[in-house]
């Protein structure tokens, strides 16, 4: 089994499924190299519907070079409203062309502004804000620049991981093939350039609010710009000083690091550590604990790989979820759970082979039940090593989590074409899964190139 890049192991991703050499290359030389379009679920009422019954304006925005959070901030600033009145179903990366939905509460549709590098269309009105559950999935078309190898051997390895014996497969170059990889959380879940959100979350879960703030505001990474590193070093110095001067740290922090500056403002005003961490938007507060859950999930999958346990079918002790009903892009229905006991493991294996069920692992929270057998042993060992338990997720405000379950295998139909000598990968994924989790198997390099 091939060991992952050292920077991937920082976020719990320890191995590649494919032993074949990577094709090299890199992503996102131009935003058009990484095209993402949401599969939409929300259907609006006409734009002239009663705003009392339908207070949210539904927008479709095609963004070039915009991070979702940054676009939401620009939209709220231009409208002169709180950022909390802007909602979306899925966060997208800045270095891409993305098409996604937004809702804006209690605004006149005619006031929706024009925004640079954004094509914004008013679709109508809806009765509630968008949430993560409104995103069915995403369609991708991704070009890899300067690739130097053949993707076919990697595709063959990923087909085998999906349980495909290759019989009856259309071998033409552009025919889609069913492939699978471990359903890792991608590097961007933790911070692409500076993967620290899980560190913040682990501090929160251990009740170390000071450590959480300093992990976010201090804690310099060599992959950051030198100015950012220097500012974080000032934070570290002041945190250790006998007579702390948070104003000096605030003066050193670049304006572009606005969340860090918001925290330092609170520290300079005398706020306690928890109040300081709550200076960031509510969705980012949730992300800290979610990232800690994601890191533990990645660790569980890496250990399962190391032990040679399958991903596309259960072993005794696994917890399976049946697929959601009546959806185009089924995901695990966490209300329909069944344990793979000795008498049920073969039956559940057949359900998984037919796409009717998924083997899952926990995103641990207060209500989580661990698996049995060897899968449960892995889960308990990971959380013991992290010094975190289920009760630690009973936290104030946005930091609380009851937990859920997530499929351990990510399966899709993949087509590989060619554009000006570069491979172009086309596929679709359910919400919450990462395109780079699939593409890393092909590039086999630093996540900075993803």
Share in percent of the chain as helix, strand, coil (round to 5): 35, 25, 40
Q: Is 93 a catalytic residue?
A: yes
Token pair recorded at residue 248: 């000096």
Helices 209-217 and 258-268 cross at an angle (nearest 10°) of: 130
Cβ neighbours of residue 82 closer than 8 Å, sequence gap 6 or more: 76
62 near 95, Cβ under 8 Å? no
Q: How far is CA 229 from CA 78, 233, 248, in A?
A: 31, 6, 15
Cβ neighbours of residue 293 closer than 8 Å, sequence gap 6 or more: 201, 363, 364, 365, 401, 403
Judging by beta carbons within 10 Å of its beta carbon (0-12, 13-18, 19+), is residue 210 exposed, middle or buried? middle
Q: How far is CA 435 from CA 91, 187, 440, in A?
A: 13, 11, 9
What length does the chain have? 450
103 near 126, Cβ under 8 Å? yes
Which residue in the list 14, 93, 134, 318 is annotated as catalytic? 93
Catalytic residues: 93
């Amino acid at each position: 089994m091939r060991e992952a890049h050292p920077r991937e192991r920082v976020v719990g991703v320890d191995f590649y499924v494919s032993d074949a050499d990577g094709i090299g290359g890199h992503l996102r030389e131009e935003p058009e190299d990484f095209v993402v379009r949401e599969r939409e679920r929300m259907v609006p009422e006409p734009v002239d519907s009663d705003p009392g019954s339908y207070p949210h304006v539904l927008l479709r925005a095609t963004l070039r070079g915009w991070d979702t959070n940054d676009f939401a901030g620009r939209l709220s600033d231009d409208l002169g409203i709180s950022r909390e009145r802007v909602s979306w179903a899925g966060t997208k990366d800045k270095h891409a062309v993305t098409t996604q939905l937004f809702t804006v509460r209690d605004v006149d549709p005619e006031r929706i502004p024009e925004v640079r590098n954004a094509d914004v269309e008013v679709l109508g009105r809806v009765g509630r804000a968008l949430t993560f559950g409104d995103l069915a999935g995403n369609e991708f078309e991704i070009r890899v620049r300067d690739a130097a190898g053949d993707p076919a051997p990697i595709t063959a390895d990923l087909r085998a991981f999906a349980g495909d014996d290759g019989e009856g497969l259309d071998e033409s170059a552009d025919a889609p093939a069913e492939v699978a990889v471990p359903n890792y959380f991608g590097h961007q879940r933790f911070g692409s350039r500076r993967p620290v959100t899980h560190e913040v979350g682990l501090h929160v879960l251990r009740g170390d609010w000071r450590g959480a703030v300093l992990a976010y505001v201090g804690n310099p990474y060599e992959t950051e710009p030198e100015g950012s590193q220097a500012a974080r070093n000032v934070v570290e110095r002041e945190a250790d000083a006998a007579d702390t001067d948070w104003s000096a740290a605030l003066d050193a922090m670049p304006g572009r690091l606005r969340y860090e500056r918001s925290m330092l403002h609170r520290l300079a005003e005398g706020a306690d550590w928890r109040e300081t961490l709550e200076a960031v938007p509510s969705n980012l507060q949730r992300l800290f604990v979610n990232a800690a859950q994601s890191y533990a999930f990645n660790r569980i999958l890496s250990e399962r790989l190391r032990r040679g346990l399958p991903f596309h079918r259960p072993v005794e002790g696994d917890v399976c979820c049946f697929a959601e009903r009546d959806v185009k892009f089924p995901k695990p229905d966490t209300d329909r759970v069944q344990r793979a006991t000795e008498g049920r493991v073969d039956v559940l294996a057949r359900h998984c082979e037919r796409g009717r069920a998924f083997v899952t692992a926990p995103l641990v929270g207060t209500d989580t039940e661990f698996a049995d057998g060897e899968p449960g042993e892995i889960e308990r060992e990971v959380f013991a090593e992290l010094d975190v338990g289920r009760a630690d997720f009973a936290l104030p405000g946005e930091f609380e989590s009851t937990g859920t379950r997530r499929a351990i295998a990510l399966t899709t139909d993949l087509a590989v074409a060619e554009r000006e000598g570069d491979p172009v990968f086309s596929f679709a994924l359910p919400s919450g899964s990462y395109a780079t989790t699939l593409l890393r198997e092909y590039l086999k390099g630093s996540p900075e190139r993803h």
